[in-house]
Amino acid sequence: MFSLMFKSGIYLSLYSFLYYAIELIKPMNISRNLISGLHCYINLFLSFLYMIGLINIDGVISNSLGYFIYDSMWIFYNKIKNDKFEREFLIHHIISLYFLNETWKYKSTFYIFLLFLGELSNIFNYPIYHMIHCERDIKAVFINRGRIDLIGNVDKMLKGLKVCQILNVVLVRGLIFTILIIFCNHLINNVLLYYSLIIIYLMGIYWMIKQMIKFYKEYMMAGVSGSLRANILNIVI
């Protein structure tokens, strides 16, 4: 236990230090997104190493414990009083901390696999968020370098990442998680943990549906509207 808490403290300090270091040169939301992405990719790597037997479970749990404690503190300090979305994140973090405790307690590879899948479903979210909020700066770089022809590629890349994210989240959260929740519940050691995971699962489905609706409105409806306007102009002309 001491080893786990010591390692978690190191990750907590690391994420906190990196956040405030990045915030010196980037806005608060960009800094937080970069730290969240870093945790996601480190967690995927460590979970994979654990599942193939190269590290012990402390190596995986300590990373996520440190991150969720850091981000929960961030929410309390910055957003919790007036942001519904952040309150949802806080609920997610509290349940995740309980889940991590049970994972360490039972040394469950199945739980680590669930943790791996949870992070896998988010891998495209972080670059998408970064590109959306830094799109103007990215395009400005191309303009300054005289490569105006590449500006359109930024929009294409962003759309491509969003398509990948939709497919990824539908596969992982919509399909794989649903199968595991229904058919592998016997691998979950207690009822409280099972229903806690149900809450996380439903939150994931809710966020998945929101992403799909947003993508539909942003690209599909825009395409239909554009075609409709073109047809009307052709008829009028």
In angstroms, the Cα distances linking 204 to 20, 84, 114, 211, 227 are 29, 16, 13, 11, 34
Extract the tokens encoding 201: 């699962």
Task: Give the model's pLDDT for residue 217.
Answer: 86
Mean pLDDT of 13-27: 92
**pLDDT tier at 1 (50, 70, 90 boundaries)?**
confident
So what's the pLDDT on residue 14?
A: 95
Residue 95 predicted with pLDDT over 50: yes
pTM: 0.86
Is 142 within 8 Å of 150 (Cβ atoms)?
Answer: yes
| Stretch among 89-93, 106-110, 132-136 having the lowest mean pLDDT | 132-136
Nearest residue to 164 via CA among 115, 200, 197, 131 = 131
The per-residue pLDDT for 141 is 63
